[in-house]
C-alpha cells in the first residue's frame, strides 16, 4: 500500500511542534532539508525549481534548497527571505534570512561554512533567475 507524502507545511508544522525556541526550529529545518535534498550543482542555468518540485525530485542547488527552507519557515509564520550574494569574491550563492525580534538569522541551505565571507547583494531572486514548476 502506497502512502501519500506529507506536504512541506505538514513537515514544517511537525518540526515546529518539537522545537519551541525559534533558533532550534531554524536549525532543524536546515538539517531536515540538508539530509533529504541532495545538492546538485546547476551552474549555467538561471532556472530555479519551485520548492514543491525540489521536494519531489529530492535534488537542488543552493537557490532551490534556500527557497524550500523559505517556504517551510513562512508556512509557520516566520518572515523568511531568500537572499543572494557572493562568497570568495565572485561565487554566486543563495541563503535564507530571518529578522525576528530585532535579530537577524542567516540560514545556509548547504552547511553554513560560508557565513563569514558572504557578501549580500540582493533580496528575492537574482534578476536573471526565474522559477520553473516542471
Average pLDDT over residues 15-37: 91
pTM (two decimals): 0.87
Average pLDDT over residues 98-117: 79
Per-residue pLDDT for 125 more than 70?
yes
Instruction: Name the pLDDT band for 69 (thresholds 50, 70, 90).
Output: very high
pLDDT digits (tens, 9 = 90+) for 76-97: 999 999 998 887 777 788 889 9
Instruction: Name the pLDDT band for 115 (thresholds 50, 70, 90).
Output: low
Lowest mean pLDDT, pick from 30-34, 93-97, 123-127? 123-127
- Residue 104, SS3 per DSSP: strand
What is residue 49's predicted lDDT score, i.e. its pLDDT?
92
Average pLDDT over residues 17-31: 90
Instruction: Name the pLDDT band for 113 (thresholds 50, 70, 90).
Output: low
- Core vs surface per residue 90-105: b (16+ CB within 10 A) or e: eeebbbbbbeeeeeeb
Domains of the chain and any CATH numbers: 8-132 (3.10.620.30)
Helix/strand/coil (H, E, C) string of 17-49? Answer: HHCCCHHHHHHHHHHHHHHHCEECCCCCCCEEE
Amino acid at each position: 500500500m502506497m502512502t501519500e507524502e506529507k506536504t512541506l507545511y505538514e513537515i514544517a508544522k511537525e518540526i515546529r511542534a518539537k522545537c519551541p525556541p525559534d533558533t532550534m526550529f531554524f536549525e532543524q529545518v536546515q538539517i531536515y532539508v540538508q539530509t533529504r535534498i541532495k545538492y546538485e550543482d546547476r551552474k549555467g542555468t538561471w532556472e530555479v525549481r519551485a520548492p514543491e518540485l525540489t521536494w519531489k525530485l529530492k535534488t537542488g542547488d543552493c537557490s532551490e534548497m534556500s527557497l524550500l527552507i523559505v517556504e517551510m519557515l513562512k508556512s509557520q509564520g516566520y518572515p523568511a527571505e531568500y537572499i543572494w550574494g557572493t562568497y570568495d569574491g565572485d561565487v554566486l550563492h543563495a541563503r535564507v534570512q530571518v529578522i525576528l525580534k530585532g535579530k537577524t538569522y542567516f540560514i545556509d541551505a548547504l552547511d553554513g561554512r560560508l557565513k563569514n565571507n558572504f557578501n549580500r547583494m540582493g533580496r528575492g531572486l537574482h534578476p536573471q533567475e526565474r522559477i520553473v514548476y516542471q
